[in-house]
């Protein structure tokens, strides 16, 4: 579900999906790539995700 939603959001905003996935991995793992994003997002708590994305966007 998350994986497909990333594609939908990227497409709607005219952003290459690979760039969105890269941003997700950088925010969560500090790396350009990682495990399937949908699985990664589903395996982490909402509070953790919110905190990491807030930290990543405040740079």
Number of H helices, E strands in the chain: 4, 0
Pairwise CA distance, residues 58 & 41, whole Å: 20
C-alpha to C-alpha distance for 53 and 49, rounded to whole angstroms: 6
15 pLDDT higher than 90: yes
What global pTM score does this model have?
Answer: 0.84
| pLDDT above 90: residue 6 | yes
pLDDT in tens, 24-50: 999 999 999 999 999 999 999 999 999
Confidence of residue 59 (pLDDT cuts 50, 70, 90): low
18 pLDDT more than 70: yes
**Residue 16: HSE in the Cβ half-sphere, 13 Å Cα cutoff:** 3
Separation CA 25–CA 20 (nearest Å):
9
């Amino acid at each position: 579900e998350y994986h497909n939603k990333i594609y939908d959001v990227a497409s709607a905003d005219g952003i290459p999906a690979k760039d969105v996935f890269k941003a997700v991995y950088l925010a969560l793992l500090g790396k350009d790539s990682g495990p399937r994003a949908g699985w990664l997002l589903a395996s982490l708590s909402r509070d953790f995700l919110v905190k990491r994305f807030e930290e990543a966007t405040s740079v």
